[in-house]
Amino acid sequence: MKSTFRLATAALFAVALPVQAGLFDDAEARRKIDELRTQVESLQKTIDSRFGRVEADVADRRIVVDLATQLEALRNDVARLRGSMEVLGNQIEQQEKRSRDLYVDADNRLRKIEQARLDDQKARDERTTQERSTQERTAQDAANETKAYDSAVNQFKLGRYREAIAEFQSFINQYPQSQLAPSAQYWIGNGHYALREYRACIAAQERVIRSWPDNQKASDAMLNMSTCQADAGDRNAERQTLRALLDQYPRTPAADQARQRLNRR
């Protein structure tokens, strides 16, 4: 009888060891728990059945006491196995919770990354839209600028000098940073010259020289000033202007004409 209980005890420990070895394998652990539970229940029934037969058949109280001691030891083993089952169950539950937490954290991170990508794409789209809008406005402004300048030039060609002067002045007011602004101011001077308004012509050309001294129209404006001074009868002023033209803009077509005029004087 003792050997029988020893075999039973050994069987319980043989079952318990592989269970403990696989605590962190969730699927395998659950299977082991189910097998262990079945074995424990079967062993309990066997123990109870055999102990009952022993009590009925064995009269020796000493044997009964010994068997009772072995039975208590087996019951303690069963209790320890059940404790191991509870620990294993808790570990599985904790592992599942960690897995859920990791999933939630990973999902949140992916959402943030995706949102950042969407925000970046939105910002790029907005910049592209703004750039296109700016380019469209720039192209439209350039077209309007050219149209306004050409309109003033056409007025001058038609001999409508007052209208031309007004339109050139409006052009400068509207497009002060335009590359055509020096030319517009120059043509204002020419318009006053055509109207024989010599003082206004000189003042207009002086503004070209003062505001855009490095522009190619500056030398032309100075030559036009000398012409106004000559037609107004101020020969001294004319010569001073021509000499100043040669000094400031010696390598320009206007300077060549200035030399010719001085040589004729």
Tokens linked to 17? 């060891």
- Higher pLDDT pick, 98 / 217: 217
Question: Residue 62 above 90 pLDDT?
Answer: no
- Long-range contacts of 165-168, Cβ-Cβ distance < 8 Å, separation of 24 or more: 165/191, 165/192
pLDDT over threshold 60, residue 1: no
Distance CA 10, CA 43 (A): 12
Which range among 13-27, 55-69, 208-222 has the greatest average pLDDT? 208-222
Confidence of residue 221 (pLDDT cuts 50, 70, 90): very high
Q: Could you tell me the pTM of the whole model?
A: 0.52
Confidence of residue 67 (pLDDT cuts 50, 70, 90): confident
DSSP 175: -
Mean pLDDT, residues 94-111: 62
pLDDT value at residue 7: 47
Stronger pLDDT, 94 or 166, i.e. the higher one: 166
Answer with the residue of higher pLDDT: 126 or 143: 143
Q: Is the pLDDT of residue 57 over 50?
A: yes
Confidence of residue 127 (pLDDT cuts 50, 70, 90): confident
Residues, the chain: 265
Q: Give the integer Cα–Cα distance in Å for 48 and 223.
A: 132
Do 185 and 210 form a contact (C-beta atoms < 8 A)?
Answer: no
Please state, in angstroms and rounded to a whole number, the distance separating the CA atoms of residues 172 and 164. 12
Question: Which residue, chain included where needed, has tokens 């919770």?
Answer: 97
> For position 152, what pLDDT does the model report?
97
